[in-house]
A and B are shown apart, each in its own frame.
Chain A
């Protein structure tokens, strides 16, 4: 996974980089799993609503 060392105190700061890093990278499957899991949860709630609503 795209890990990075923990920041430390002091004035030796990294130069800023205005742009975001590569968004998905090696985390793509983790993000996808989260989204799919939540879609299943929302789908379950939608089915529950449809089945029990008057």
Chain B
């Protein structure tokens, strides 16, 4: 990175952090700290909701996914707009009417304390572990590629977020997220223009689209149906809908973003803003990855994108074997580039037969490259046993490092740090508020004065920040656990959503029935995960449906649900 890159990076991130601390410091009440005095307008809410979901991994991994797998991942978001309509129409007015600080507070009003604590516990476990990953994932990439010390990168990200989150509470989180999201979008658009501009002079954007299509990268919609297929139109519309409904409707890191709006209207508009722009934004980020793929048709890519690991493999006893594989890789890359030139020329000459022949050559060369890459990964693991073979997260940052002009690279790193901080801020804020409202104020110290509860909330936020940084620091030792944590989070959403949907739509079901139904639903989801190959998006449908059906069945054999008194909740 050049001095200009460092200047852009430092000024951008430092401004947002310092501005967040000093502009919004001094929330003196729980209301001000947790709900920001309910002063936010819809643009802030909308950008805050988007920034919470889009972590740094989104901006590092998704272009890599577009490069490797094409645009099919965009189907993951197809159910989101409809989920936004349901959250805006059903969840938001209920949370406002109940005047809750956390989503789980509502569960006690509707059911009982044990159901509230069950919902809060599921959130704290899954989100508490995920918060560490939110810090660790960008830190490991930045340290690997830019040579930053991993330990200090983790601490730096965590400490900056804790400072402004504790200083200004929910309002500081939302307002800084608005700034961070602007940086993120500006950085991505600029990088997109550079990626398109880096194509050879005789390859236009139309040619690039056709080349990407010929190599299977323009696969945004797949209407075939298979339960084991992770991303297709049907899993996206159905499983994606339930996942988005659970995430935006019941996860406190999102609920905390929109219950602090000026009114129900502002919160609804913020959520609908997210529903309107989420699919185009994700399609744009995937398209960026596809353009990087087309760029590397003409500029030879490495056989393995994690350069430090590749270097280690080259230096090992298996180095000659790696060299042979790389030589075959170079041949296949050259063959693909030749076929691509022929394909573009045939398109320009409107020669359909030549175009079809070039398309076949392209596909053949790509097939050889794919097989060689798999062979290289196997050889790298044999040479460096601890090597992680998933290298797609390194693609976009490697492209940026080698091709972006001075200043823009600094902006892109600022984008990554901004995205990391915006997500971790929401998570820490939600973890702190849930611990305070659902445990401290409800179970541990119900009689504590507001000032003491506010102090406890800040301390809990700091505590969760320390846990997240500690987990991120030691995460490099726990690669399998990281994968387990990601799966763990996706296993809970269906069950929690089922609890909330029973609460909203089945008035005769009581707390005991829904509690045990949730336990049974969770057991079913875990069984599906352990014993079937069903794509994980479907777990949200299965868990939610199981809780609803089991709750209705259990309620027929249990005593009628007691009428809840309004003043029993915290």
Binding site for B on A (CB under 8 A): 1-9, 13-21, 23-24, 27, 30-31, 34-35, 37-38, 41-42, 45-46, 48-49, 51-54
Contact = CB atoms under 8 A, between A and B. Distances in A.
Interface stretch (B58-66, B133-141, B268-276, B368-376): B268-276
A49 B97 contact: no
A3 B220 contact: no
Nearest to B215: A54
A30 B85 CA distance: 9
Interface in B233-292: 259, 261-265, 268, 272, 275-276, 279-280, 283
In terms of DSSP, what is the predominant structure of the interface of chain B?
helix
B205 interface: no
B35 A7 contact: yes
A26 B275 CA distance: 19
Given A34-B81, A34-B85, A45-B221, A16 B98 contact: yes
Given A6-B38, A49-B221, A35 B85 contact: yes
A33 to B, nearest CB: 9
A53 B219 contact: yes
Given A6-B261, A16-B98, A18-B110, A38 B283 contact: no
Given A20-B505, A52-B209, A6 B262 contact: yes
The 6 A-B pairs with the shortest beta carbon distances in the complex, nearest first, are A52-B213, A9-B31, A6-B38, A45-B220, A7-B99, A15-B566
Contacts of B38: 6-8
Nearest to B94: A20
Contact of B74 (A30, A34, A45, A52): A45
B81 A48 contact: no
Nearest to B79: A38
Nearest to A1: B265
A35 B213 contact: no
Contacts of A6: 38, 96, 261-263
B275 A38 contact: yes
B81 A35 contact: yes
Contacts of B109: 16
